[in-house]
């Protein structure tokens, strides 16, 4: 496994209730303005809530105050017993054009609640640069949930885990000196959290349930008991949340269902509701009994806030799968005794761009980056499919425990393969360095981390030089995060030559490399291209800076004098939105097509990073459907379709062969694909657009978490 109530009562006048009624009516209209925030909240007498309901009669209109509360070890919605049958679905892993499509499928499964994280790094990718539009338009997502009558459990962090880069923390936090102590009561860290939540929480406050919106609970941190036991930190977050959200909202924590995790990660009493998660297949009821010890009497409805429908997958592993009947049977054990559960995940989505996270094993070097797909073997697949055994099995169980009839199940969305796409090499990566703004190049005696030079994702090129000698030189980089390709270049031999690939180093094996010493009349340039494969998002090693993090040794001596050159790929929703490198690579397509194909020098054929560009056409608008780009036969790289970064591919390592391309990315007419291949292009320079996912590539040599 990876992973309250204060109350206020006040005088309620007839006029106040009329206002509540009017606000509620407007809020449930298909298009509605942001809901106002009120300071007064309502609760029924705990002792008698389930025996009668309050009504205020004005003329002939009965108005019931909106409330979501806990009492008698049950949830109460507007004074009626309520069971949460929910699922995690992350707005930032789905294109906004598909939010409603996925939520409709969630309702067809029988769920009444959505749980979602809020990743700080998506919304503030650079200090002070706030983004709440496009895939980061949280407010529009909450409005949509409200429109569809779906409740929301909000997980605003500031740490979220979620197999998301750095657990949702912005990577620029790692560049601050002296270093911050993340997830702690470190004052410097808390000041930044205060500022972030001071922006975020007022945006979501109008959408609290008592204010007429869909949010019934707000989480404090995430699985903190698996990390630390700094209660001052948790109390600070509770006070901060209350200050922005008021006393009427239920605050909750989630921790693994063991005594140790709950002791460290919860706040005893009734200030915060403590929930649990545990391995699917475990007997839930002894864990729910333990959960009660950490909640006030009567305040512990049994809730598995992460009921695992599948599991995550790292590069190099087999694709994680779990049985449909096994998963449904485990859910039945909870629901059959009036327990509540949130399916993690109900729909996983995709780690578009560079936002995938990573895990570590026994130590920091045992590094395991997550694949681009976040399908998670969830009942609603990465592309939204529901015609599968797991969806059907879970729906049958949920239907048995739902009084109302479930909505009909939508058909799967259409998929289309657009066939082979012929690519042409349009530029070597090193050829594009002249397009880098000199002001962005950082010079230093010793290598600096990516974060220190403002490169939070993707690639950073380190450049130095050394004097050749008669025999080979030996290069040693003790600490590189995460993967480095090493190149050398003798300028005096041939000014038209490109750097020659020498070898690769990764954080799993910081091996020595022999550098060739050609009879070079000048110094030899050394190029080290480092790829950030995803910041660690879970465990004790989340302080995961990227780049060269040690001295570089040449023949036992420290090599000084470095330039750090950022490779400016953009990520999701980042500013600026124009992708310089991709733009230049694509602009060369016509030149290459009409004049000549770029050729490799002898001995330089397959391992110098290069851009490849291709076009495919969609003749009719009604032929625009989801598709998958198959990279079988290619090495490792990233892919961009119509200027949208669809993620990383690595079929040589597997298991993911194909990258998902949602239909809203595509367009009628010409579509442009640009890839950066780091290692070994397919000799035929062809990829294929197909109509299905594929997780059968690579060696798949590692074991996976099988539930």
Out of 223, 382, 451, 531, which one is annotated catalytic? 223
Whether the CB-CB separation of 543 and 537 falls below 8 Å is answered with: no
In the structure encoding, which two tokens stand for residue 225, read together? 């008991």
The backbone torsions φ and ψ at residue 188, rounded to the nearest 5 degrees and listed phi first, read -65, -40
Q: The tokens 């239907």 sit on which residue?
A: 399
Distance separating alpha carbons of residues 263 and 76, to the nearest angstrom: 27
Question: Looking at the DSSP assignment, which residues form a beta bridge with residue 484?
Answer: 505, 530
Q: Given CA atoms 202, 203, 209, 211 in this order, what sign does their dihedral have?
A: positive
Whole-Å CA distances, 679 to 502, 503, 633: 12, 11, 11
Rounded to an integer, what distance in angstroms lies between the CA atom of residue 185 and that of residue 237? Answer: 10
Question: Is 306 annotated as catalytic?
Answer: yes
| Residue 69 designated active-site | no
User: Taking a C-beta distance cutoff of 8 angstroms, is the pair 662, 98 a contact?
Assistant: yes
Q: Are 316 and 700 in contact (CB under 8 A)?
A: yes
- The answer to whether the CB of 463 falls within 8 A of the CB of 488 is no
Residue with tokens 């909202």: 249
Those residues with Cβ within 8 angstroms of residue 611's Cβ, 6 or more apart along the chain or in another chain = 425, 426, 427, 428, 429, 432, 581, 585, 588, 674, 675, 676, 677
For residue 287, the SS3 value is helix
Q: Which of 306, 451, 607, 677 is catalytic?
A: 306
- Residues 572/509, Cβ–Cβ less than 8 Å: no
The distance in angstroms from the start CA to the end CA of the chain is 10
For residue 707, give both structure tokens.
């539930």
DSSP strand pairing (419-422 vs 669-677): unpaired
Identify whether the C-beta of residue 608 lies closer than 8 Å to the C-beta of residue 602. no
Residues acting as catalytic residues: 223, 306
């Amino acid at each position: 496994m990876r992973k309250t109530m204060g109350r206020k009562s006040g005088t309620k006048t007839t006029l106040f209730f009329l206002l509540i009624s009017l606000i509620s009516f407007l809020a449930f209209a298909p298009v509605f303005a942001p809901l106002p925030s009120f300071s007064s909240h309502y609760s029924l007498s705990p002792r008698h809530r389930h025996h009668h309901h309050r009504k205020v009669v004005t003329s002939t209109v009965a108005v019931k105050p909106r409330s979501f509360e806990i009492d008698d070890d049950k949830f109460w919605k507007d004074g009626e017993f309520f069971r949460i049958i929910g699922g995690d679905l992350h707005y930032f892993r789905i294109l906004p054009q598909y939010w409603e499509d996925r939520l409709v499928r969630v309702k067809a499964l029988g769920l009444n609640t959505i749980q979602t994280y809020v990743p700080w790094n998506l919304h503030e990718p650079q200090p002070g640069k706030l983004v709440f539009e496009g895939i980061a338009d949280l407010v529009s997502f909450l409005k949509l949930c409200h429109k569809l009558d779906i409740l929301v459990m909000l997980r605003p962090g500031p740490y979220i885990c979620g197999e998301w880069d750095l657990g949702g923390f912005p990577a620029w936090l790692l560049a601050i000196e002296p270093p911050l102590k993340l997830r702690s009561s470190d004052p410097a860290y808390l000041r930044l959290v205060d500022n972030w939540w001071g922006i975020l929480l007022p945006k979501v406050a109008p959408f609290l349930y008592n204010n007429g919106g869909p949010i019934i609970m707000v989480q404090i941190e995430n699985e903190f008991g698996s990390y630390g036991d700094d209660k001052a930190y948790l109390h600070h977050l509770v006070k901060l949340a209350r200050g922005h959200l008021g006393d009427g909202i239920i605050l909750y924590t989630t921790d693994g269902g063991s005594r140790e995790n709950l002791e460290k990660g919860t706040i005893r009493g009734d200030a915060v509701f403590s929930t649990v998660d545990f391995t699917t297949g475990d007997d839930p009821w002894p864990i729910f009994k333990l959960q009660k010890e950490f909640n006030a009497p009567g305040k512990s409805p049994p809730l598995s806030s992460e009921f695992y429908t599948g599991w995550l997958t790292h590069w190099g592993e087999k694709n994680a799968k779990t049985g449909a009947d096994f998963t449904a049977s485990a859910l039945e054990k909870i629901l059959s005794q009036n327990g509540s559960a949130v399916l993690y995940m109900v729909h996983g989505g995709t780690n578009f761009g560079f936002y995938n996270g990573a895990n570590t094993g026994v130590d920091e070097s045992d590094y395991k980056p997550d694949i681009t797909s976040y399908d998670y073997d969830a009942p609603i697949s990465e592309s939204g499919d529901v015609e599968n055994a797991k969806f059907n099995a879970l729906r049958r169980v949920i239907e048995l425990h739902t009084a109302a009839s479930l909505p009909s199940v939508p058909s799967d969305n259409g998929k289309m393969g657009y066939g082979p796409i012929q690519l042409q090499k349009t530029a070597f990566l090193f050829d594009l360095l002249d397009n880098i703004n000199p002001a962005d190049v950082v010079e230093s005696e010793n290598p600096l981390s990516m974060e220190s030079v403002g490169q939070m994702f993707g690639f950073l090129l380190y450049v130095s030089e050394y004097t050749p000698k008669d025999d080979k030189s030996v290069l040693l980089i003790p600490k590189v995060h995460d993967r480095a390709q090493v190149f050398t270049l003798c300028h005096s031999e041939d000014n038209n030559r490109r750097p020659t690939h020498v070898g690769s180093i990764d954080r799993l094996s910081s091996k020595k490399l022999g550098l060739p010493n050609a009879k070079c009349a000048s110094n030899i340039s050394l190029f080290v291209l480092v790829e950030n494969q995803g910041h660690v998002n879970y465990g004790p090693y989340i302080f995961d800076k990227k780049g060269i993090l040690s001295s570089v040794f040449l023949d036992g001596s420290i090599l000084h004098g470095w330039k750090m050159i950022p490779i400016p790929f953009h990520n999701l929703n980042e500013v600026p939105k124009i992708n310089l490198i991709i733009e230049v690579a694509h602009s060369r397509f016509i030149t290459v097509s009409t004049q000549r194909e770029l050729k490799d020098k002898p001995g330089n054929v397959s391992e110098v990073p290069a851009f490849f560009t291709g076009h495919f056409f969609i003749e009719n608008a009604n032929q625009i459907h989801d598709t998958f780009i198959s990279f079988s036969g290619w090495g490792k790289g990233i892919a961009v379709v119509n200027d949208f970064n669809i993620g990383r591919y690595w079929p040589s390592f597997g298991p993911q062969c194909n990258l998902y391309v949602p239909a809203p990315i595509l367009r009628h007419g010409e579509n442009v694909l640009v890839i950066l291949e780091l290692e070994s292009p397919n000799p035929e320079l062809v990829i294929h657009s197909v109509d299905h996912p594929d997780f059968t590539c690579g060696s798949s040599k590692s074991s996976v978490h099988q539930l």
